Amino acid sequence: MRDLEGKTAVITGSASGMGLAFATSFGQEGMNVVMADIEEKALRTAAAQVEAVGASVLPVVTDVGDEASMDFLGEATRDAFGGAHLICLNAGVAAPTVPMETLTVNDWRWTLDVNLWGVIHGIRVFLSDLKAQDEGHIVITASVAGLTSYPWLGPYNASKHAATTIAETLHAELMETGSKVRVSCLTPGAVATNIGDAERNRPKELRNEDAEEQSLGDLSEFAETFAGFAKAPPEVAELVLAAVVEERFWIETDDSYREPIQQRHRAIEQKAAPPARGMILSPYIER
């Protein structure tokens, strides 16, 4: 989608991190921006920042895992701008990094509600309109955790593998029907966002009664090191903008996981055991 001026972008998880960077980037390109996030106060502040670059902004408090809330996002977008052209399904959370047997049902439900159902609802709400106008682009934020399977990330890995295959399946369907709508799958590695503090937004009904989980591979232990290799959200936004304009499917933020991903593929081809070991940050820390 090469001509962005005057068109409308919808971005979930846009009150901070990559979502805010996406909103700013597309706003600078002359797009109207619908900013969706569950944090109302942070969303108002972020919307003001994007308005400051000259964009027309509609902030919509949204729970991406809730069907009615996502339906309202679609209605609000149509009422304000007549529809959308670019959909960035970006909202994401991470459950505690603990052994799988210690995860609760609430950990699984919360992660899948946001990371998986947020993508499902976004496609359900907006795809028909994009196909009807035969123009548009959907960017699905997956992760390197959707292409590898490091330990202690069960819900996150599952949700991101699901997001990846949804993106691939949607791409295949659009190609089969000759649609001009395009899809990109963003598979970021380390990016300096607030996802490590995602618990602040966990719904009360999905919080664990005993909140003292012992996390393994907590990023706080490597804060200084992490800051040295993590991509800044605006850098990722530049990559996403380029992929939308060039209509590319895969978007990677760096090449640190190329070899782990290739190792996984080789293991599948050779019917060998999965190779991933240690923490998901290992490709950065060990190099």
What's the pLDDT tens digit per position in 160-177?
A: 999 999 999 999 999 999
Rounded CA gap, 12 and 97, in Å? Answer: 24
pLDDT in tens, 113-142: 999 999 999 999 999 999 999 999 999 999
The pLDDT value recorded for residue 197 is: 83
Question: Does residue 275 belong to any structural domain of this protein?
Answer: no
- pLDDT exceeds cutoff 50 at 242: yes
Residue 75 has pLDDT above 60, yes or no: yes
- What pLDDT is stored for residue 214 in this prediction? 46
Residue 213 within a domain: yes
Q: Measured between alpha carbons, how far is 124 from 122 in angstroms, rounded to an integer?
A: 5
pLDDT at 211 over 60: no
Cα-Cα end-to-end distance for the chain: 37
CATH number of domain containing 39:
3.40.50.720
pLDDT mean over 29-49: 98
User: What is the pLDDT of the chain when averaged over all its residues?
Assistant: 93
Range of the domain at 164: 8-257
Identify whether 257 is a catalytic site residue: no
% of the chain residues with pLDDT over 70: 94
Q: Is 188 contained in some domain?
A: yes
Query: Is the per-residue pLDDT at 220 higher than 90?
Result: no
pLDDT of residue 217: 47
Predicted local distance difference test score (pLDDT) of residue 222: 56
Q: Is the pLDDT of residue 74 over 60?
A: yes
Locate 286 and state its tokens. 């060990």
pLDDT value of position 68? 98
Model confidence at 221, in pLDDT bands (50, 70, 90)? low
Arithmetic mean of pLDDT, 223-250? 91
Q: Which is the catalytic residue, given 150, 156, 257, 284?
A: 156
**Is the model's pLDDT at 244 over the cut of 70?**
yes
287 found inside a domain:
no
Tell me, yes or no, whether 286 lies in a domain.
no
Residue 196 lies in a domain: yes
What's the pLDDT score for residue 212? 52
> Does 239 have pLDDT greater than 90?
yes
Residue 78 domain flag: yes
More confident position, 255 or 197: 255
Q: Is 2 among the domain residues? A: no
pLDDT at 56 over 80: yes
Tally the domains of the chain: 1
Tell me the average pLDDT across 251-275. 96
Say what the pLDDT of residue 96 is: 87
Average pLDDT over every residue of 25-51: 98
pLDDT at 210 over 90: no
